Chains A and B, each alone.
Chain A
Amino acid sequence: KQEVTQIPAALSVPEGENLVLNCSFTDSAIYNLQWFRQDPGKGLTSLLLIQSSQREQTSGRLNASLDKSSGRSTLYIAASQPGDSATYLCAVPPGNSGGSNYKLTFGKGTLLTVNP
């Protein structure tokens, strides 16, 4: 059974700092890896999706990397801002997810606080 772990559980940084969030998974046979953001009382917003054949994806100040062989992904946030404060979750579907078998296993998330 796939298990997804996110470290640290919580992180507090001053505004402007670059930071890295970590995600590890036990079964390297994944279809892709998705990073989400969740604001308090809200649903999940997809940030980045890395296909299993890719090494990284970038969107603005966000960069996500994937190392399937070691079962790890990182989310790098450059020049953090107070508006980045949220919970960040990673999730993976199993490797045989083509078509009807696409089901995500989530980590428990990292609560990020960026202090002004």
Chain B
Amino acid sequence: NAGVTQTPKFQVLKTGQSMTLQCAQDMNHNSMYWYRQDPGMGLRLIYYSASEGTTDKGEVPNGYNVSRLNKREFSLRLESAAPSQTSVYFCASRGVGTSNQPQHFGDGTRLSIL
């Protein structure tokens, strides 16, 4: 039961470097999400993809780009990393249908930018 898989689990970058965080789900879910979690701020939505081929901005999209590569995969890219992007990044997915579909989360990517 893989669920939502995120890679890498840990990463250290220097300011100005670029990086792509990978996320894949094996539950045939239509919707996928990227959140960041910071102390004192809670979880905040960066971008989401309601279905394959669509992406939309969340609460904190600046400095990020996303790609919904196919139904399974949703990647998050930092083009020029900044120390303010040091955070734990979570990917989530959700099936469609009735209102009782919960979001399922990966274990996160811990990203430090020096």
Asked if B42 and A107 sit within 8 Å, CB to CB, the answer is yes
Interface size class of A (residues with CB under 8 A): 20 to 34
How many pairs of A and B residues are in contact by the CB < 8 Å rule?
Answer: 61
What is the bound-complex CA distance between A6 and B33, given in angstroms?
23
Asked if B105 and A45 sit within 8 Å, CB to CB, the answer is yes
Asked if B99 and A104 sit within 8 Å, CB to CB, the answer is no
Asked if B42 and A109 sit within 8 Å, CB to CB, the answer is yes
In the assembled complex, A63 has its CB within 8 A of some CB on chain B: no
Per-position contact with A for B61-75: 1 when CB-CB < 8 Å, else 0? 000000000000000
CB-defined contacts of A107 to chain B, threshold 8 Å:
42
Asked if A103 and B58 sit within 8 Å, CB to CB, the answer is yes
Per-position contact with B for A90-109: 1 when CB-CB < 8 Å, else 0? 01000001111111101111
Q: Size of chain B's interface in residues, with CB distance under 8 A? A: 28
What is the bound-complex CA distance between A100 and B50, given in angstroms?
5
In the assembled complex, A31 has its CB within 8 A of some CB on chain B: yes
Asked if B99 and A32 sit within 8 Å, CB to CB, the answer is yes
- Kindly identify which residue among A43, A99, A108 contacts B42, using a CB–CB cutoff of 8 Å: A108
Other A-B contacts than A44-B92, A44-B105, 5 sampled, CB-CB below 8 A, are: A36-B105, A43-B4, A100-B51, A107-B42, A109-B42
